[in-house]
Amino acid sequence: MKYLIIHFFIFLFFPTVGYSQDISFEAKASKNSLGINERLRIDFTMNRNGDNFTPPDFSNFIVIGGPNQSVSTSWVNGKKTFSKTFTYFLSPQKRGLLKIDQASVEIDGEIYKTIPIEINVSEAVDEPRDPNSPEYLIDENLHLVTEISNNQPYLNQGITVLYKLYFRSPLQISDARESESPKFKDFWSHQIKIPQLKVDRGNYKGIDYNVVVWRKTVLYPQKTGELILDPLTLNLMIDIPSKRTDFFGNRVYEQASRSISSGKKVIRVKNLPDLGKPASFSGAVGKFDFNVSVNKDALKASESFQIKVKVSGLGNLKLFNLPKIVVPNTLEVYEPERDEKIKIILKGMQGSTEDNYTIVPKFKGKYPLSPISFSYFDPELERYFDLKSQPLSVDVYEGPVSSSNSAITSQKAISQKNILNKDETFRFIKLKPKLELISKKSFWGSKVFFLLIAAPFLILLSIFLIWRNSIKKSSNLENLRQREANKLSRKFLGEANKKLGDKNNFYDSLELALYNYLKARLKIKNLDYTKEKIKEVLMGKKISEKEIDIFMQVIKNCEIARFSPTTDVKMKSDFDKALTIMATIDKKL
């Protein structure tokens, strides 16, 4: 914080201060001669920030550490000094005069290269390095490592990336800050939150270390081929023991700053095989279960039911489409509502995703629901699986009958009649009739004659009396039904007002109030409850299309609201709309 304040005042009072030195890029080796069992440190340092740094190939050497990147900025007499360094630690493979070739970097659009360095490697020495030197202690006891669960995943297969900081005695980490964060291009990524960093015991290359898991990330590759994972860079403040002791004989620690990088990693992503790929495959990779269910299998027309298409398991649950349902065209299907219950753990996405379809049948009948397929690729078994749902059906036992269903029913009835055998076709004809002579007594003027003449008039009179009586009863019954429906409409409307906030009971009462209102005012019977019939009757009463649409929208809201989230404000709005439209229709009538 002290240095930040100093920098702030320098920029405030010396705004024109800038770089005063020329651009330089050079390579420096820790020593020009060493034993074959020693390590060599080489620094590539630039005094201006550059891009596209390219190290030499380090032939005849083994890279045992790096690249470690460090950046420093200082002010001397009002002049700013900048330094950026890439550090490598090398081990020679043979003796002799070995050459380290040029490194290159791009600064301000120009390419700069270092001068080659020659290193003389001799026979092994008894004491390779001073084990107490700060550089040796840091290089040997501090590592930032990228651990990848799978370097060769399939497309859309989840992998886990852990960034771990390993350190051991005598080093102590007093402060650590992330200076460069990895960006996961060509990956779907999710960072798992770490509530609190903690130090555990771990093992790195067979040696016990203190380890801090700095970052946990779950990745799903979205492209095939070689994909690059950018490095993570940390700025550390390290406490290193010195050779000095305090008054009490305790070792005095010195602080050193170090920028450490995990280095780039390459992921080789394999494409999914074409062999055995089902036609229904939509990109699901993992291990899944598939289920299709209905919430009710018997209902009345104009009621609604739900079909739930659900996939659960472990895999890329957010990265594929669920299969669509196939239903007869006499069922009215609304857009599905997506419900995801997914948590992301180190293994990847786990949980379920489902589509909920709300469906309203228009006519009476039995409706089969065709099975649908869902397929996925299992990367562990390296094969596809094709899952099919069970065949389902829904019975609509009350409601209007469609013309297509009537035709089918009559056709079935005809086909089910018993057909006579050929031998029995003409058996109704009597070959030997028993004829009797008519009595010679005169028919004219007999009682039977006059009875037959009077019979048509008596029959007509009876039909007229029965017709008048039925009309009178029907009129009384219709008036009774209208009065009863009017009472029920008011009753259910009052119940709906009381149940504001209770979604299911409110919309049940409001829907019953609307339908009983139609029965009372428009003389619509139960069997005529279709949207087309309601529109036709309302238009016949010279109700405007806008008012009809409002009435139908309220009924539709009642049907949909049972299966979708609804607020109290929405309920109050629907209730007010119902009152307004009922009052408007009353005035028109």
Q: What is the CATH number of the domain that holds 330?
A: 2.60.40
Q: Tens digits of per-residue pLDDT, 506-515?
A: 778 877 777 7
Q: For position 431, what pLDDT does the model report?
A: 64
Name the residue among 113, 156, 144, 117 with its Cα closest to residue 34: 117
Mean per-residue pLDDT for 281-294? 95
Task: Using DSSP, state whether 276 is helix, strand or coil.
Answer: coil
Q: 152 with 260, same domain?
A: yes
Q: Is the pLDDT of residue 242 over 80?
A: no
Mean per-residue pLDDT for 436-459? 74
Q: For position 441, what pLDDT does the model report?
A: 55
The residue out of 208, 242, 269 marking a domain boundary is: 269
Q: For position 416, what pLDDT does the model report?
A: 39
Q: For position 458, what pLDDT does the model report?
A: 87
Q: Write down the mean pLDDT value for the chain.
A: 80
Q: 141 with 61, same domain?
A: no
Mean per-residue pLDDT for 277-281? 92
Mean per-residue pLDDT for 270-293? 94
Mean per-residue pLDDT for 557-569? 70
Write out the two tokens for 382.
Answer: 């390296």
147 part of a folded domain: yes
Rounded Cα distance between 290 and 298, Å, is 24
Name the domain count of the chain.
4
Q: For position 468, what pLDDT does the model report?
A: 80
Q: 114 with 143, same domain?
A: no
Q: Is the pLDDT of residue 467 over 80?
A: yes
Rg (CA), the chain: 44
Q: 291 with 337, same domain?
A: yes
Rounded Cα distance between 499 and 508, Å, is 10
Q: For position 423, what pLDDT does the model report?
A: 46
The residue out of 269, 291, 324 marking a domain boundary is: 269
Q: For position 300, what pLDDT does the model report?
A: 86
Q: 247 with 327, same domain?
A: no
Q: For position 216, what pLDDT does the model report?
A: 95
Q: What percent of the chain has pLDDT over 90?
A: 27
500 part of a folded domain: yes
* Contacts by residues 2-7 (CB-CB < 8 Å, ≥ 24 positions apart): 6/75, 7/75
Q: Of 187-201, 414-428, 519-533, 565-579, which gets the smallest average pLDDT?
A: 414-428
Q: 6 with 46, same domain?
A: yes
Q: 122 with 141, same domain?
A: no
Q: 148 with 261, same domain?
A: yes
Mean per-residue pLDDT for 92-106? 89
* More confidently predicted of 282 and 581: 282
Q: 141 with 254, same domain?
A: yes
Q: How confident is the model at residue 10 (pLDDT cuts 50, 70, 90)?
A: very low
Which range among 104-108, 119-123, 150-154 has the greatest average pLDDT? 150-154
Q: Tens digits of per-residue pLDDT, 335-360?
A: 999 999 999 999 999 999 999 999 98
Mean per-residue pLDDT for 363-383? 92
Domain coverage including residue 249: 137-269
461 part of a folded domain: no
Q: 143 with 103, same domain?
A: no
Q: Tens digits of per-residue pLDDT, 166-209?
A: 998 878 888 888 888 898 989 999 999 998 889 898 888 878 88
Q: 146 with 254, same domain?
A: yes
Q: For position 14, what pLDDT does the model report?
A: 38
Q: For position 478, what pLDDT does the model report?
A: 55
Rounded Cα distance between 38 and 130, Å, is 11
Q: Are 100 and 57 in contact (CB under 8 A)?
A: no
The residue out of 113, 129, 145 marking a domain boundary is: 129
